[in-house]
Structure 1
Amino acid sequence: MKTLTALPHNPAYLDRYVSIRDIKHKKTKAPLVAAHALLEARYEAYAQAIDRGNLGGLSKNDKAIELRDFLRSCYNVSTQPLKDLKKAIKDAQPKRLLKYCPMCGTTIPGTFDHYMPAISFPEFSVHPLNLVPCCAKCNSTKDDDWLCAAGKRQFLHAYSDQVPDVQFVSVTLHENHTGSAVGAAFALLRPAGVPNQQWDLIDTHFRRLKLIDRYDERGNDEVAEILSDCQTFLEAGGQQVRTFLRKRAEDRAAVYGRNHWIAVLMGAMWQHPNFEDWLGVF
């Protein structure tokens, strides 16, 4: 997993909101125009919370909640400026990165999650840093439950939380007694040197989204897919199949991060002493 690229501030985030607001019907637009100073202050509060690493401490605003229906309509009702905003967010990401949901790394990101839940923070319904491209499963699992009972964040913020560039997703490969099948079992292992607060957030993100279970569910099929690709490489005249798979693993890690589960799986496979034997089976 990798941190997403924040949308550039030109045009300003508040100006993007205004472009969406101003296309609304008068009944919706009028109270939002009257509350412009409130939105300006709340956007500044969001920016400060990110700068201080204190998103979890950003309190709800009663006046914004009173305008919830009007503010949420900026996102819930599709308009061209909203479509442009969503496209701009996706276009800002490096190529291929959004092939997978940035929250789980397993499926296509076909929706957007409001990191600060729109039910409680409707003023951020179209804030570019509050819209995270993700899959429907991650969106529905996270839902509005972004804080634990102790008031701590439970999910990584895709734009501001820096994932440490150290290995913390691992996989163990299992062969059956005949060597005719290979399985994969993933685990989350804390590396040395990662601060408690940072690790706690990574750990809860994985646990709440059940990522290790999701990797395990897909692991066996992915092993077979990888071996099939390697077999095709050999049948086409390729040589040094370990090098072929190593380079694929490195490419995956470069694009999606060293802890992307497929990069981890490929890395374990090409380094396994029985790797060539598996190619004779699959």
Structure 2
Amino acid sequence: MEAYDIYVDGEVWKLDSSFGDKPVADVLRSNYGVLRSGALKEIGAELLARSSLCCLCALRDSSELDHYLPQEDFPEFAALSLNLVPACSVCNNKKRRDFRNERGEQTFIHAYLDDLPDSLPFLRASLSDAPTVTPSFHVVQPAGMSASQFTVIAQQFELFELDAAYSGASVELLLERREALEEYFGDGGAADVMKYLDRDARSAARRVGVNHWRPTILAAAAASPDFCSGGFRYL
């Protein structure tokens, strides 16, 4: 119960298991199987339905429940709902059992416990110039964000290879707008393309927040004179 209280307080990465290899550990781990396919599977389905998108990448559909504290090391949290985060199989496999780094510090964002300030944009995107237009993403520490919080964000961005994931999705997103971009360019040139993309970016940011990859790449495209002047044809 003391461990559960510490978990709720938020400093999850400081916990150490009380069970280790004791026989009761296997019994505790088996609770997760009951939650996912046993008598309590409806509750497990409700936990997965908390988010249709993976809470680790915000890109792919969630299909699994990730144990923030791995059940191999922390059997007492195997079926604790606060420890079960909807995730895609790609991110779940990449995360494995790494919840703290070699310095004993937090490695990943906790989707339920970490409060990320939506007013501080930390995700940025850019577009390379023609003849090949390629999106790329990176994170920056905004004014007002602590170094410790940014370190966790940067670690998650790197370890889940979100630059590559977001770049690939961004190409598809922009290609879906190819016909509209051509029409706006034909009607009013680069200025109309810029307005269209900027409007689309602001609309997306209102729906999903300024640090989602979708409004980030749309804003970057709107801010690129080369892209808006016809560079979109070279995606």
**Structure 2 length-normalised TM:** 0.82
> Quick one: higher RCO (CA 8 Å, sep 6+), 1 or 2?
1
Question: Which range is displaced more, 75-84 or 183-192?
Answer: 75-84
Identity %: 29
Question: Which range is displaced more, 200-209 or 76-85?
Answer: 76-85
Q: Deviations over 1:148-203 (max 9, x none)?
A: 111112111110111122111111112214xxx52212111111221121111111
Cα distance in structure 2, aligned partners of 1:85 and 1:110: 12
The answer (yes or no) to whether the contact 1:49–1:57 under 8 Å persists in 2 is no
Are 2:206 and 1:254 equivalent residues in the alignment? yes
Are 2:120 and 1:161 equivalent residues in the alignment? no
Are 2:150 and 1:192 equivalent residues in the alignment? no
Cα distance in structure 1, aligned partners of 2:208 and 2:82: 20
Structure 2: any 5+ residue segments left out of the alignment? 187-191
- Of 54, 68, 76, 1:101 maps to 54
Cα distance in structure 2, aligned partners of 1:80 and 1:62: 25
Q: How many residues align?
A: 226
- Of 128, 133, 146, 1:174 maps to 128
The verdict on how the C-alpha distance between 1:49 and 1:84 changes in structure 2, with shifts beyond 3 A counting, is closer
**Superposition map of 1:86-165 within 5 A:** 86-88=45-47, 90-91=49-50, 98=52, 100-165=53-118
Question: Which range is displaced more, 126-135 or 75-84?
Answer: 75-84
Q: For residue 224 of structure 1, report the CA deviation from its aligned partner.
A: 1.9
Cα distance in structure 1, aligned partners of 2:169 and 2:199: 22
Q: Deviations over 1:186-241 (max 9, x none)?
A: 11111122112111111111122121232234443333233345558999xxxx66
The answer (yes or no) to whether the contact 2:130–2:231 under 8 Å persists in 1 is no
Are 2:166 and 1:215 equivalent residues in the alignment? yes
Q: What residue number does 1:62 align with?
A: 19
Q: What residue number does 2:41 align with?
A: 82
What's the C-alpha RMSD, in Å, of the aligned pairs? 2.8
Cα distance in structure 2, aligned partners of 1:272 and 1:251: 19
The answer (yes or no) to whether the contact 1:64–1:123 under 8 Å persists in 2 is no
The verdict on how the C-alpha distance between 1:55 and 1:261 changes in structure 2, with shifts beyond 3 A counting, is same
- Of 208, 220, 223, 1:271 maps to 223
Q: What residue number does 2:189 align with?
A: none
**Structure 1 length-normalised TM:** 0.70
User: Larger Cα Rg: Structure 1 or Structure 2?
Assistant: 1
The verdict on how the C-alpha distance between 1:108 and 1:150 changes in structure 2, with shifts beyond 3 A counting, is same
Please list every run of at least 4 consecutive aligned residues from structure 1 whose deviation after the TM superposition is greater than 6 angstroms: 232-235
Cα distance in structure 2, aligned partners of 1:113 and 1:70: 19
Cα distance in structure 1, aligned partners of 2:150 and 2:222: 28
State the SS of the aligned residue for 1:175: coil
Amino acid in structure 2 at the alignment position of 1:185:
S
Cα distance in structure 1, aligned partners of 2:123 and 2:21: 40
The verdict on how the C-alpha distance between 1:193 and 1:159 changes in structure 2, with shifts beyond 3 A counting, is same
The verdict on how the C-alpha distance between 1:58 and 1:273 changes in structure 2, with shifts beyond 3 A counting, is same
The verdict on how the C-alpha distance between 1:174 and 1:142 changes in structure 2, with shifts beyond 3 A counting, is same
Q: What residue number does 1:8 align with?
A: none
The verdict on how the C-alpha distance between 1:209 and 1:276 changes in structure 2, with shifts beyond 3 A counting, is closer
